[in-house]
Structure 1
Amino acid sequence: MNKSVSNFKSHAVMLVSDNEAITQMVSEVFPAERNNTVTENGTSFQALNGTALELAFKHDLVIFEIDPDDASEVQAIKEVLGHRKDDTVFVALTQNDVSITKARALLKIGVDEVLPLSIDQESLQAAVSEKITARAVPQTQFHEGGRALGKVIPVAKTRGGAGASTVAVNLACALVGGKGSMFRKVAKSRVALLDLDIQFGNSNVFLDIEDNGGFLQLIENAELPDDHFLSSILQQHDLGLDVLCAPSPMVPLQSLRSDLIEGMLDLLQRRYDYIVIDLPCAIVDWVEPIFKRAAQLALVTDTTVPCVRQARRLIDFYREANVGLPVEVIVNRERNSLIRPPHVREAEKVLDTKFKHWIPDNPKVARNAVDLGRPVTDMKPQSDLGKALKKLAADLSAEEQTAATKNI
């Protein structure tokens, strides 16, 4: 996968580590001949004895080595980050086998990126480039107050026809929520659905929406979209979500660019609570920014041997972009059973997970929903299929919130 890396010029880098290999790699990523300066300031933030705050914010980038189990060092970093007012980027290097929970705890206190100590030069350069660019983007606040950026949930499939579009559309609709009861009002979430299966996407059919040509304009426009343009091509659905339809004309998969995806997500994450993305079956380089930002991956599959093998490959591939990516495997058109058949147990073993999300096969309800252009969760919410899809949305939302709470 090609990585888009910025040209590092005139950056001041503070390195907090006594690892010679890391020092050498950072010096190569930020060469002095391009007017970069790399200064080594001690082996830990605690060792800086009160000067950490003053030193850190004189630099564009702070790269430091840390053991997440060192509570005193974590606290020292937290105190520094608590005073951050500028665009200084903080990158932590830690053990290769650090748990997802511990990595997220570092992100929670304000660290911009957590990377393994074994990272190579190219990967470090790409990761740092992305963070420097992101911090430099003007932070237009569409969310009120200090609300967090919206959660990106890509929906991938192990094969064509796996039912990923059905899952993506109904997941997006269910995440809107807001129905409550006559005694209790429930706030609606702001949800965007992006159909990035640009050659064969048909999410709009499930919602009875015609392509307005906006996506094609987006692809043909050489410039990155601004908020006004993006607002003009998103189509509002009466169920409360905004939709970007796949283009009606056939376009090459490489029509999209990584910087275009990043630009869209920069804007959308500030406006929406959830961004659900229906992905193509193919592997293309522009999906990398999606997975770097993803809160979760919803992977739709069945339990046949070819699909389970493909699921394993996809999980490994996408985790190259986001090491700690939580993957929710969704078994479609199959019912859960109290006693797991041997092939299901074997599939769980191969994917190293216990299947929690099962979508039953109900072709009659599914067909009627498509024919009428209405999501199952709206047309037949009390059917077995409707209940399963609503439960999936509730589970994914709860799991994401639980993960965030654990890191407080």
Structure 2
Amino acid sequence: MDKIISNLKSHSVMLVSESEAIAQVVAGVFPAEEDNKVTGNATTFQALNGTALQLAFKHDVVIFEIDPDDVGEVQAIEDVLAHRDDDTLFVALTQNDLSISKARELRKTGIDEVLPLSIDGEGLKAAVSEKISARAVPQTSLPDGVSALGKVIPVAKSRGGVGASTVAVNLACSLVGGKGSFFRKSAKNRVALLDFDLQFGNSNVFLDLEDNGGFLQLIENAEKPDDHFLSSVLQEHTLGVDVLCAPAPMVPLQSMRPDLIEGMLDLLQQRYDYIVIDLPCAVVEWVEPIFKRAAQLALVTDTTVPCVRQARRLIDFYREANVTLPVEIVVNRERSTLIRSSHVREAEKVLETKLKHWLPDNPKVARNSVDFGRPVVEMKPQSDLGKALAKLAAAMSADVQAVATKST
């Protein structure tokens, strides 16, 4: 499935580069016949001195070359970005073998995208289009015109390996909706998937994505992220989900901070219709802001006695932050039967709810999904597991909308 690249029309572009080859690439991405205007500056930000600030923010996009080891030039760009108060997009072109750590340092200055100098026109067009499209997303509104906040849906697990990541990924992809989708509607939802399982998160594997170092940048940043920074670390998947991958290196669970989560959700709820969060198999204090905002919780478990007891404890813990939190128990790798067995009836008694969401055990489909990096609902939608996951997403979406309607 190819990513759709939007046309770049009616943009004002400032180019800071001495390379004629780069100038030609940029001119091809922003053709004059599409009402674009590219202003070239064959110099550096340092050489522009006081005029850099005035020039940069007169444009929609600023594309520039930079050597991350040139302290003076990096400082000059940082000085410009410190005065940022509009939506000008800053795209840096730098050495092809740039290390992840140096790319992080550049992004910390406020640069929206860091790309290799060898990038071709299609690559540059795709990267710039993605950033511009992300900023142009309209907020959803309630009938009375009041802006509607996106619905936060955390996915928790009663034990490791119970399949919560499978549920989170497929739930997020299903919630996108759109023509020919599970919900059979024309308009698509904006959906973000956040993998907060810091130490063992692997939601990205189901989507064939690699960690771009974005999560570590968020953790290392002492301040709350702004919209530009957060947009730069989210990865857009072809299925319509924007993903924050768990960090590839092992990091302490306490690396996350409640204020960081609050800042992220403040921004994401303005931009997205649904924010699905894959939680770690641990009780940590920083989940409190998540559950205070949660519209619904999906708790993945099986019906063994230890898992049911742990699920009960988790429900009690999460409801300390949100007393009225709706909880949907998802029983994975088991089939529902017409006649409830005694252990299922006992589980329902302990959990104080009827177990209505069951995902059948289909190891072949589940394994292929992981191996090929494609969610079940996209790769095998007509399988028993694919249908059950789509049904779960449809039910949760309906329940969330019902709660939202009651509250307005």
Report TM bin, short chain. 0.5 to 0.7
Aligned to 1:82: none
Aligned to 1:269: 269
User: Which one-letter code corresponds to 1:400 in the other structure?
Assistant: V
User: Which one-letter code corresponds to 1:324 in the other structure?
Assistant: T
Corresponding residue SS for 1:346: helix
Note the 1:7-406 alignment, pairs <5 A.
143=139, 145=141, 146-180=146-180, 186-406=186-406
Corresponding residue SS for 2:361: coil
Distance verdict in 2 for CA 1:173–1:254, change over 3 Å? same
Deviations 1:108-138 (A, max 9, x none): xxxxxxxxxxxxxxxxxxxxxxxxxxxxxxx
User: Which one-letter code corresponds to 1:143 in the other structure?
Assistant: Q
User: Which one-letter code corresponds to 1:356 in the other structure?
Assistant: K
Aligned to 1:39: none
Corresponding residue SS for 2:260: helix
Corresponding residue SS for 1:336: coil
Corresponding residue SS for 2:298: strand
Corresponding residue SS for 1:321: coil
Corresponding residue SS for 2:249: coil
Corresponding residue SS for 1:286: helix
The runs of 5 or more residues in structure 1 that have no matched partner are: 1-140
CA shift at 1:232, angstroms?
0.1
CA shift at 1:176, angstroms?
0.3
Aligned equivalents of 1:307, 1:194: Cα separation in 2: 24
Aligned equivalents of 1:232, 1:246: Cα separation in 2: 15
Aligned equivalents of 2:332, 2:180: Cα separation in 1: 28
The answer to whether the 8 Å contact 2:151/2:275 transfers is yes
Deviations 1:378-404 (A, max 9, x none): 000000000000000000000111223
Aligned to 1:131: none
Aligned equivalents of 2:348, 2:147: Cα separation in 1: 36
User: Which one-letter code corresponds to 2:139 in the other structure?
Assistant: H
Deviations 1:76-100 (A, max 9, x none): xxxxxxxxxxxxxxxxxxxxxxxxx
Distance verdict in 2 for CA 1:321–1:144, change over 3 Å? closer
Distance verdict in 2 for CA 1:327–1:212, change over 3 Å? same
Aligned to 1:3: none
Deviations 1:267-296 (A, max 9, x none): 000000000000000111100000000000
Identity %: 82
Distance verdict in 2 for CA 1:344–1:185, change over 3 Å? closer
The runs of 5 or more residues in structure 2 that have no matched partner are: 1-136
Q: TM-score, normalised by structure 2?
A: 0.64
The answer to whether the 8 Å contact 2:140/2:148 transfers is no
Q: TM-score, normalised by structure 1?
A: 0.64
Deviations 1:223-242 (A, max 9, x none): 11000000000000000010
User: What's the Cα RMSD here?
Assistant: 1.5
What is the total number of aligned residue pairs between the two structures? 267
